[in-house]
Amino acid sequence: MDKYTLIPILPLAAFVINILVGKQLFKERAHWVSTLAVFGSFLIAVITFFEVVNGKNLNYDAYTWVLSGSFKVSIGFLIDPLTAIMLIVVTTVSLLVHIYSSGYMHGDPGYYRFFSYLSLFTFSMLMLVMGNNLLQLYFGWEAVGLCSYFLIGFWYEKKSAADAGKKAFIVNRFGDFGFGLGVIMIFLFLGSIQYSDIFAKVGSLQGQTISLLGYDVDLITLIALLLFCGAVGKSAQLPLHVWLPDAMEGPTPVSALIHAATMVTAGVFMVARFSPLFNLSSTAMAVVAITGALTSLFAATIALVQNDIKRIIAYSTCSQLGYMFLACGVGAYGAGIFHLYTHAFFKALLFLGAGSVMHAMSGELDIQKMGGLRKHMPITFWTFFFASLSIAGIPGLAGFFSKDEILWLAYNGGPIGKTVWIIGTIVAGLTAFYSFRIIWLAFFGSFRGGHELEHHLHESPSSMTVPLIILGAGAISAGWIGISPLLGGNNWIAHFFEPVLGHPHVHGSHSKEWLVMGISVTVAGVGILTSMLFYLWMPGIPQSLSVKFGAIHKVLWNKYYVDELYDFIIVRPVKWAAVNILVAVTDGKIIEGIVNGIPSRIAAFGEHIRKVQSGNLQHYAIGMCVGFFAILTLIMIIFTK
């Protein structure tokens, strides 16, 4: 068992231990098992990262399960730059969330269960990113979806939480259906599910078409789009984004870990991992880019008017994921992954900070009811502040470098690239606006939540604030590995990714690059200043605007009515069909008919046959004689013919 296998095995062991004996043995100390396991994985991940930095690349099968001719199913690990960065992201955020949860979930009756699910999730995510074949990816994919369901519906007695868990899993399933089809098609046409085989042979499929409903569809485009379906579901892009806001029903550490840093980024990871495939289909890449851009715009506009702090951050995640797909769509996979890496830090920090705020506000989520919290919780405030600066793209902080890289490479990406660049810039402004909206409303001004709550306001315990500080440091500094040459750096991260993800052509001049950078910083600044205007200096403006543009406000407030649309188109017909067709006909008439009908027919038949047993001896004698006569006849016929 080499050290790479230990990375996923340790959390798995923690899961097994906690779920089996956690309740009896560890109770309030269950977090030690999980946290130590993840810490172990974190250390090995760091060592692995430095090994990869020094040039190590590894692709081996740890355990071969099925070997049948050319079909091979195995548990294998592919350690390359992409995996190394993902390992750092997953283990770091997971470790910090574990530490944070020991404070946040203190006293919860399902304490041991929470940590076992966190460990299971970590295991699944690690299997997903470290896999070297599609089956392992799919296994990890489904497993993280399952853990998401467990963790979103953690407080399962609450109906909204249970419903949210179901919604997440079912919506994911829609995406996974396409993903599964894509996997099958890859196996069908390329004959293997190992990455090395796929990437070697994928060029041979170029130009092949497949007949679909009478139309000739390019094969690679079809496969890429099917794979992208899974990413749309998992990463909450349009139109399968509806589960992410509802997923906020889960505990805040869950939102930080799963719906900010790791699970939702699995879609981006998958698209980046399959960059050789996507690069061969410009149609698919265009679809990816446009979907990402539209999602980011869509989510950002909704986030402008929401009042639930976690929901705003959830839509922000949705929007930033759109950025990452935007990047992948224009060929800048490295930039997309770089943004994934920085986003993990500041988004997890935002969520954990929101959790800290909720902790102080005794569970209250409405930012309209908060105010002036920076006096009571300075650490939370400062970390939240830096995270917001980072997400807005203020120079010097992590988000600036990654976002700028994306926007610059999008600008260079042809006509589609320019279109999505425009959308991306607008979204950058909106992002700055709504991120700082939270800060002004929650941390500045006077407290609007009533005297009762005001007495309870306090800073969170160190188990919660220390992760905040660590993440804050990351939110500030994580981007320094990708400083663009324009600003004097050597863009180390782009070179790091180049062997795996390639590098898009950049044919713009330096002056254009300064221009793009300037525009994005200006837009961010305008966003921050506007929000300051609206919420700090002249609080009457948002009110009057919402009245003047009442219709738009209503649409945004109701999230573009997407949930209602889905309910009308999909949920209601399915429910109707379930009750009227499946329950009434299939279950009631057919299955019940068979299950009840067969015994009743047999019983009726038995009732008839039973009359033979009359109890009268002579009836039996008559039967015997009839039989004897029959046999005699038979013998006479057979033996005399």
Partner 1 sequence: MVPLEWYIGLSTIIFMVGVVGFMIRRNLIIMLVCVELMLNAVNISLVAFSHYLQDLRGQVFVFFIITVAAAEAAIGLAILVTLVRNKGAVHTDEITDMKG
Partner 2 sequence: MLPVIFFIYFAIATTTLSILVITRKNPIHSVLFMLALFFHIAALYLFLNAEFLAAVQVILYAGAILVLFLFVITMLNLKMEVFTEPFIGEWPLSVSIGVSILLLIFLSIRDFLKGPLGPYTIDVIQQETNTKIVGKVLYTEYLFPFEIASIILLIAIVGAMVLAKKKN
3-class SS shares of the chain: helix, strand, coil, % to 5: 80, 5, 15
What phi, psi does 442 have (nearest 5°)? -90, -40
Selected binder of partner 1 within 610, 637, 639, 640 (CB under 8 A): 610
Binding mask 577-616 for partner 2 (x = CB under 8 A): ---------------------------------------x
User: What gap in Å lies between CA 410 and CA 404, rounded to an integer?
Assistant: 10
Binding partner at 632 among partner 2, partner 1, none, C-beta below 5 to 8 Å by kind? partner 2
Residue 640 interacts with which of partner 2, partner 1, none, CB < 5 to 8 Å by class = partner 2
Q: What angle do CA 239, 243, 249 make, to 5 degrees?
A: 160
Q: Does 634 bind partner 2 (CB under 8 A)?
A: no
Q: Are 418 and 411 in contact (CB under 8 A)?
A: yes
Q: In the complex with partner 2, which residue's Cβ is closer, 56 or 619? A: 619
Which window, 25-33, 334-342, 520-528, 627-635, contacts partner 2 (CB under 8 A)? 627-635
Which of 71, 492, 537, 629: binder of partner 2 (CB under 8 A)? 629
Contact 101, 114 (CB under 8 A): yes
Q: Which stretch binds partner 1 (CB under 8 A): 130-138, 190-198, 309-317, 615-623?
A: 615-623
Contact residue for partner 1 among 200, 595, 598, 621 (CB under 8 A): 621
**Could you say whether residue 615 binds partner 1 (CB under 8 A)?**
yes
The DSSP output letter for 543 is H
The CA distance from 417 to 510, in Å, is 18
Task: Assess contact for 475 and 397: CB atoms under 8 A.
Answer: yes
Which partner, partner 2, partner 1, none, binds residue 636 by CB below 5 to 8 Å per kind? partner 2
| Residue 60 or 629 with smaller CB distance to partner 1 | 629
Distance CA(289)–CA(285), nearest Å, equals: 6
Distance CA 248, CA 260 (A): 11
Interface mask (CB under 8 A) for partner 1, residues 555-594, using x and -? ----------------------------------------
Could you tell me which residues come within 8 angstroms of residue 369 by beta carbon, excluding any fewer than 6 positions away?
361, 448, 449, 450, 453
Tell me the closest approach of the beta carbon of residue 614 to partner 1, in angstroms.
6
**Number of other CB atoms surrounding residue 3 within 10 Å:** 13
Per DSSP, the chain holds a count of helices (H) and strands (E) of: 28, 4
Q: Please choose, out of 189-197, 207-215, 322-330, 611-619, the segment that lies near partner 1 by the rule CB under 8 A.
A: 611-619
Of the candidates 192, 178, 87, the residue with the CA atom closest to the CA atom of residue 129: 87
Closer to partner 1 at the Cβ: 594 or 622? 622
CB 606, min distance to partner 1, A? 10
Tell me how far, at minimum, the Cβ of 636 lies from partner 2, in Å. Answer: 7
Q: Which is nearer to partner 2, 574 or 625 (CB)?
A: 625
CB of 611 to partner 2, least distance (A): 13
Among the listed ranges 88-96, 101-109, 216-224, 606-614, the one in contact with partner 1 (CB under 8 A) is: 606-614
620 counts as binding partner 2 under rule CB under 8 A: no
Binding partner 1 by CB under 8 A: which of 622, 634, 635, 636? 622
d(CA 154, CA 500): 38
For residue 354, CA distances in Å to 96, 99, 434, 442 come to 15, 16, 14, 10
Least spacing, CB of residue 609 vs partner 1, in Å = 10
- Cβ–Cβ < 8 Å for 124, 150: no
Q: Residue 65 binds what, of partner 2, partner 1, none (CB under 5 to 8 Å, by partner type)?
A: none
Rounded Cα distance between 123 and 143, Å, is 9
Query: Going by C-beta distance under 8 Å and a sequence separation of 6 or more, which residues neighbour residue 269?
Result: 82, 86, 128, 129, 337, 340
Residue 451 C-beta-side C-alpha neighbours within 13 Å: 0
36, 583, 594, 636: which one binds partner 2 (CB under 8 A):
636
Nearer to partner 2, 595 or 632 (CB): 632
What does the CA dihedral 304, 287, 232, 340 come to, rounded to 10 degrees?
A: -70
Nearer CB in complex with partner 2: 558/614: 614
CB of 592 to partner 2, least distance (A): 42
> 24 or 616, CB closer to partner 2?
616
- By three-state DSSP, how is residue 71 classified? strand
Residue 613 site contact among partner 2, partner 1, none (CB < 5 to 8 Å, cut-off depends on kind): partner 1
Q: How far is CA 441 from CA 385, 449, 537, in A?
A: 13, 12, 11
Least separation in angstroms between CB 632 and partner 2: 5
The alpha carbon torsion through 604, 607, 609, 612 (nearest 10 deg) reads: -170
The number of residues that bind partner 2 (CB under 8 A) is: 12
Which two structure tokens, joined as six digits, stand for 507?
């044919």
Of the residues 592, 614, 631, 633, which one makes contact with partner 1 according to CB under 8 A = 614
Of 613, 637, 638, 639, the one binding partner 1 (CB under 8 A) is: 613
Taking the C-alpha atoms of residue 228 and residue 409, their distance in angstroms, rounded to an integer, is 21
Q: Is 616 in the site for partner 1 (CB under 8 A)?
A: yes
Binding to partner 2 by residue 626, rule CB under 8 A? yes
Choose between 70 and 616: whose C-beta lies nearer to partner 1. Answer: 616
Within 497-516, the residues that bind partner 2 by CB under 8 A are none
Residues that bind partner 2 (CB under 8 A): 616, 618-619, 622, 625-626, 628-629, 632-633, 636, 640
Residues that bind partner 1 (CB under 8 A): 610, 613-618, 621-622, 625
